């Protein structure tokens, strides 16, 4: 089910062509709602929906193709078990990342379903901190596709509002929860930036088992023995470099990796998106 998205360079070019005055908020919204998938980008651009507000208005309305898109694609894939799969994906989209958290929401054992979602359907991926030695510990699940992440987070979860055509209330909920939702999308965006730069040989994230220390992005270049630790925030003023350095120290002690590397630290915010 994996569809190759537009590169971020192409996504910016498309947005600039149709909205030369686009903002970082508009770019993040386009990425968050479509993941760069050509079909979804085209639907928004053709409708003239090239700002964050107009994209939401176009997606959340009576005759929107987007509202039924996730269901139409996935029910065909999942068959009669689609309800369980939808519950799992809805939980992940709301930030329930561990198997135990997801099972608490779904109310049943889901190991086999997670395996199928990852390996057969390729909708979710299983993530672990960089250099985690065990293949089964400290696992987090996420939905690979940005559109499905948005769809399950808002459209599927609040489908009862759509059934009574209360589109304005759903738009208010999206506005209320948007910054939290886009925190993940911003991190995903910058990881894609680093991947497309091809400067690093390994890119990932790290968190400890207690959940006390977490680093948004760790980017290693083993060819020149360098590593950069990144903190990602919507606003630059919320980036705390001293805290990032402290987390990096914990990472280096806990993993025992990257010894004698040249270390750098960098903050990334929405002001860096259009660079």
- Per-residue pLDDT tens for 181-234? 999 999 999 999 999 999 999 999 999 988 889 999 999 999 999 999 999 999
Say if domain 199-272 classifies as CATH 3.40.1350.10.
yes
pLDDT at 1 over 60: no
Average pLDDT over residues 112-132: 94
Mean pLDDT of 240-249: 97
Q: Which residue has the higher pLDDT, 191 or 4?
A: 191
The proportion of the chain whose per-residue pLDDT surpasses 90, expressed as a percent, equals 87
Mean predicted confidence (pLDDT) in 158-186:
95
| Domain boundaries along the sequence of the chain | 199-272
The predicted pLDDT at position 77 comes to: 86
Tens-place pLDDT, residues 255-266: 999 989 999 999
What DSSP assignment string belongs to the chain?
A: ---PPPPHHHHHHHHHHH-TT--HHHHHHHHHHHTT-HHHHHHHHHTT--SHHHHHHHHSSTT-HHHHHHHHHHHHHHGGGHHHHHHHHHHHHTT--SHHHHHHHH-S--HHHHHIIIIIS--EEEE--TT---SSSS-EEEES-HHHHHIIIIIITTHHHHHTT-HHHHHHHHHHHHHHHHHHHHHHHHHHHHHHHT--SEEEEEE-TTSS-EEEEEEEETTTTEEEEEEE-SSGGG--HHHHHHHHHHHHHHH--STT-EEEEEEE-GGGTT-
* Confidence label for 3 from pLDDT (cuts 50, 70 and 90): low
Confidence class of residue 79 from pLDDT cuts 50, 70 and 90? Answer: confident
pTM of the model: 0.92
Closest CA to 188 of 219, 147, 227, 216: 216
What average pLDDT does the chain have? 94
pLDDT band of residue 76 (cuts 50, 70, 90) is confident
């Amino acid at each position: 089910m994996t569809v190759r998205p537009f590169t971020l360079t192409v996504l910016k070019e498309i947005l600039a062509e149709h909205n030369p005055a686009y903002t970082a908020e508009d770019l993040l919204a386009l990425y968050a709602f479509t993941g760069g998938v050509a079909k979804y980008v085209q639907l928004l651009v053709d409708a003239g929906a090239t700002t964050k507000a107009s994209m939401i208005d176009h997606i959340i309305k009576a005759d929107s193709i987007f509202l039924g898109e996730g269901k139409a694609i996935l029910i065909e894939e999942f068959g009669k078990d689609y309800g369980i799969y939808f519950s799992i994906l809805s939980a992940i989209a709301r930030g329930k990342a561990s198997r135990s958290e997801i099972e608490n929401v779904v109310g049943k054992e889901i190991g086999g379903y997670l395996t199928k979602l990852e390996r057969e359907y390729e909708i979710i991926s299983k993530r672990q901190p960089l250099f985690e030695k065990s293949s089964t510990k400290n696992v987090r699940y996420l939905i690979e596709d940005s559109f499905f992440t948005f769809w399950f987070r808002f459209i599927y979860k609040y489908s009862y509002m759509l059934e009574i055509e209360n589109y304005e209330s759903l738009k208010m909920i999206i506005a209320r929860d948007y910054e939290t939702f886009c925190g993940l999308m911003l991190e995903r965006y910058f990881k894609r930036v680093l991947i497309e730069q091809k400067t690093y040989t390994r890119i990932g994230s790290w968190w400890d088992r207690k959940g006390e220390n977490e680093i948004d992005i760790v980017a290693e270049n083993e060819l020149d023995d360098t590593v950069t630790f990144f903190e990602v925030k919507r606003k630059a003023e919320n980036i705390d470099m001293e805290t990032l350095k402290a987390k990096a120290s914990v990472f280096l002690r806990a993993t025992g990796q990257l010894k004698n590397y040249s270390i750098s630290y960098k903050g990334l915010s929405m002001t860096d998106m259009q660079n």
